Amino acid sequence: MNMINIEGLDLSFGTGANESKILHDVNIQIQAGESFGLVGESGSGKTTVLRCLAGQYNHWSGQLSVNGNRLLHKLDKKRCIDMQMVFQDPYGSLHPRHSIETALAEPLKIHKIDNRDERISAILKKVGLDDSFRYRSPHQLSGGQRQRVAIARALILEPKILLLDEPTSALDVSVQAEILNLLKDLKEKEGLTYLMVTHDLGVVTYLCDRIAVMQNGHIVETISSVNLANHGASEPYTRMLLDCCYHTETTQSSEALSA
C-alpha cells in the first residue's frame, strides 16, 4: 500500500482571466518507509505540492490519500497526526518568544496528549539535544539547534510522514551534514516516510531513494537516485539541472579530458 498517493493533483490561483494554473496533473506514489525527493527551480511548484498535502491550500482538485485515508479539503486532526512538516528557515519557523518547551508542548496540547513532560524529554534526546534546552528561547540557539527543535516539534506527535521543505538550505555545509545524518538516523529508527523538497541535487540523492523533477507545475521525470547518479536522466531539463550542479565537480575532469 502506498503511504502517500497523489493522483491528478491540480491547483490554480485567481479566477477568470487572471487564473493561473500552478500544478498540472501531478501524480506521485510513495511507499511506506521510502524517501522521496521533489526537485526543480523556484516557482516550479514543488513546495505547493507539500502545502496541498499539509492542508495549507485546500482548493486543489484531484485525489490525495495518506496512509490509506482519502484526504478531504478540510483539515482534520487525524491528518496532522499522520503527517507533519519541517520548514526551510529555522529562524522564521519558531516563535521568538516561546521557550523550546512551550513550542514542543503546543502540538501535544492541541491533540490532548498527556505525559507531556516525558514526551518532551524523550523527543529532545532523540534529536540530539539535552534537557537543558527546554527553557531556552530560540535566539539562544544556533541555526542547527533550531532546526533540530523544528524536527523535534514535527516528530513529537509520532507521525508516519515528514514533509521536509528545504530543511537544510539555510544552514552551513558543516551543520547541514549533521542535520542530514540526523534525518537519516531517524528514518531508519522510526521507519518514517519522507517527502523532501530541495533544489540541491547532492542532498536529494543522499537522502532520497526516488526523485521527481518538476518544471512549471509539471512532473517532467521520476527517477531513482542511483539512476540519476549514473547519468540515467533522459529529460533535457533534468540534465540541465545536473549540469549546473556538476560544474563544480566535473569541470576539472572534463578539462583534463580535453587537454
Partner 1 sequence: MQNTKLEVKNLQISFSHEGSQVNAVRDVSFTLGQEKLAIVGESGSGKSTVGRSLLKLHPKNATVEAEKLLFGDIDLLNASEKTMRDIRGRRISMIMQDPKYSLNPVMKVGDQIAEAYLAHYKVSKKIAQEKALIMLEKVQIRDPKRVYSLYPHEVSGGMGQRVMIAMMLIPEPEIIIADEPTSALDVSVQRQVLNLLDELISERNIGLIFISHDLDLVRNYCDRVLVMYAGRVVESIKASELENAQHPYTQGLLKAPPRIGDIRNRLPTLERDPSWLYN
d(CA 80, CA 65) in angstroms, rounded, equals 13
The answer to the question of residue 254 lying near partner 1 (CB under 8 A) is no
The answer to the question of residue 227 lying near partner 1 (CB under 8 A) is no
Selected from 174, 256, 258, 259, the binder of partner 1 by CB under 8 A is 174
Of 75, 77, 89, 81, residue with least CA distance to 150: 89
The answer to the question of residue 143 lying near partner 1 (CB under 8 A) is yes
Q: How far is the CB of 197 from partner 1 (least distance, A)?
A: 13
Size of the site for partner 1 (CB under 8 A): 35
Cell readout for 146 is 533550531
Q: How far is the CB of 183 from partner 1 (least distance, A)?
A: 11
The answer to the question of residue 75 lying near partner 1 (CB under 8 A) is no
Strand partners for 78: none
Q: Which 34-73 positions form the footprint of partner 1 (CB under 8 A)?
A: 41-42
Edge-to-edge strands of the sheet including 2-13?
Answer: 20-31, 2-13, 61-66, 69-70
Q: Which stretch binds partner 1 (CB under 8 A): 9-17, 28-36, 147-155, 225-233?
A: 225-233
Selected from 63, 69, 140, 181, the binder of partner 1 by CB under 8 A is 181
Cell readout for 9 is 493533483
**Residue the block writes with cell 533540530:** 148
- Tell me which amino acid residue 55 is: G
Site string for partner 1, 192-221 (x = CB under 8 A): -------xxxxx-xxx--------------
The answer to the question of residue 248 lying near partner 1 (CB under 8 A) is yes
Backbone angles phi, psi at 54, to 5 degrees: -75, -10
Q: Measured from the CB atom, is 58 or 253 closer to partner 1?
A: 253
Query: Among positive and negative, which fits the CA dihedral 139, 89, 29, 180?
Result: negative
d(CA 3, CA 34) in angstroms, rounded, equals 9
Selected from 72, 75, 110, 229, the binder of partner 1 by CB under 8 A is 229
Q: How far is the CB of 187 from partner 1 (least distance, A)?
A: 12
The answer to the question of residue 190 lying near partner 1 (CB under 8 A) is no
The answer to the question of residue 172 lying near partner 1 (CB under 8 A) is yes
Contacts for 76 with CB less than 8 Å, ≥ 6 apart: none
Selected from 80, 113, 177, 220, the binder of partner 1 by CB under 8 A is 177
Q: Measured from the CB atom, is 18 or 174 closer to partner 1?
A: 174
Cell readout for 243 is 549540469
Q: Which stretch binds partner 1 (CB under 8 A): 28-36, 124-132, 148-156, 176-184?
A: 176-184
| Residues near partner 1 (CB under 8 A) | 41-42, 143, 172-178, 180-181, 184, 199-203, 205-207, 228-230, 240-242, 244-249, 251-252
